[in-house]
Amino acid sequence: MYLRPITQDEYTYWDTLVNFPTQSLAWARFQEKQHNLVELLGIYTDDHQLVGGYLLVGKKLYNTRFKTGRITRSQYCTPEQIQALDAYIQDKYVYVTLEPYIVKGTPLPTSLRPSPFATYAQWTPEIDMTTDWESISRNFSKAVRNESRFAEKNNITVTIGSTHTEFEAFLSMMARMRERKTFLGHSDAYYTDVYETLAPFQQIQIANAYDRDTLVASACIFDFHDTLYYVYAGSLGRQTPKGAMYLLIVSVLQWGKKRNKKMLDLFGSLGPTDTRPHPWQGFTTFKKSFGPHFVQFVGAYDLIAMMPLYRLIVFTSRCMRILTFIKKRLLLTNGK
């Protein structure tokens, strides 16, 4: 088994090889817009059959020849596949961080080491849409059932589509969200690049909730294969009409059912029994109210090609985190 960049002819069926939006051809184009180094690496058997692939996103280490890489949510993580990846990155990358789409408890190749560079939540709530609507809604909490009906009766409506007008509404909601000090969102330019890249591939939907003519909640949904992903979302906070966010998710589920989607991935949370004080506790509780199945992934691991440089990067990263923490504490103290 070996890896090499795919040929132009192989681009046309790349998406049939991968199972997650951040491994798709559209996401490769988005990463290029973000000025990242992008490699679409085919996984080939010894008799040259293409059997899988990695979207490897790289970053240069300042002005050096060295690079670091990241492969997010790939299902390819057997010892043979990782050995082929290891051979490919030698003399090209200091290390590559993998966050596999593999559930916790699955044995991993021993060449991988736990990473301090995780970007994805280890847990995600998923709603099975292959059953009938009665079975899906039976798992909703009482609050979801009652408040979504209340919202409908009080003229809250939800639109779902991928037009530029719908995206502009989403963008305006994200701008309002960024006004809150506790919200760590992306820039308008980032969201625009996501939309403009994924829309031609028909891999994005925008769900907007309105109180008559006023936008009160919005969500960006990735639409890849038979799964919907609830990726970015926002609302008016305490000013959001009762039940509007519940109705938005219910509407996305109904929209997906009509189009024979199999799952809604609510895209990251704490674990289902995690009650510790945490910034994610609010949206975890919200997602839990729809009665999803919680999936725990293996987490982030590094495949290291240049150990001395890797250790230096890890040390520097830890120092930066400590300095950032001290700076925040000083700002809070001075603010008092």
Domain spanning 130-261 has what CATH number?
3.40.630.30
Distance, CA of 80 to CA of 77 (rounded, Å): 8
**Token pair in block for residue 320:** 């930066």
If pLDDT is split at 50, 70 and 90, which confidence band does 272 have?
very high
Minimum mean pLDDT range among 53-67, 128-142, 192-206, 210-224: 53-67
Question: Per residue in 124-156, pLDDT tens?
Answer: 999 999 999 999 999 999 999 999 999 999 999
| E strands in the chain | 2-5, 37-44, 50-60, 67-72, 95-99, 113-114, 123-128, 156-161, 204-211, 214-224, 227-235, 263-265, 293-296, 301-304
Amino acid at site 149: R
Q: Determine the pLDDT at residue 27.
A: 98
Nearest to 269, CA basis, from 249, 292, 237: 292
Q: Residue 57: CA atoms inside 13 Å, Cβ hemisphere, count? A: 21
Q: Does 3.40.630.30 match the CATH number of domain 2-121+297-335?
A: yes
Res. 1: pLDDT tops 80: yes
Pinpoint the residues of the chain covered by CATH 3.40.630.30. 2-121+297-335, 130-261
Q: Could you tell me the two tokens for 150?
A: 């209340």
The b/e string for 177-205 (b: 16+ C-beta within 10 A; e otherwise) is beeeeeeeeeeeeebebbbebbbebebbb
Identity of residue 124: T
The secondary element (H helix, E strand) that includes residue 175 is helix 164-178
Per-residue pLDDT, averaged over 164-192, amounts to: 91
**Integer Cα distance of 56 and 68 in angstroms:** 10
pLDDT (0 to 100) of residue 184 = 73
What is the CA angle 272-278-279, rounded to 5?
110
In tens, the pLDDT along 252-264 reads 999 999 999 999 9
Q: CA nearest 228: which of 128, 139, 131, 121?
A: 128
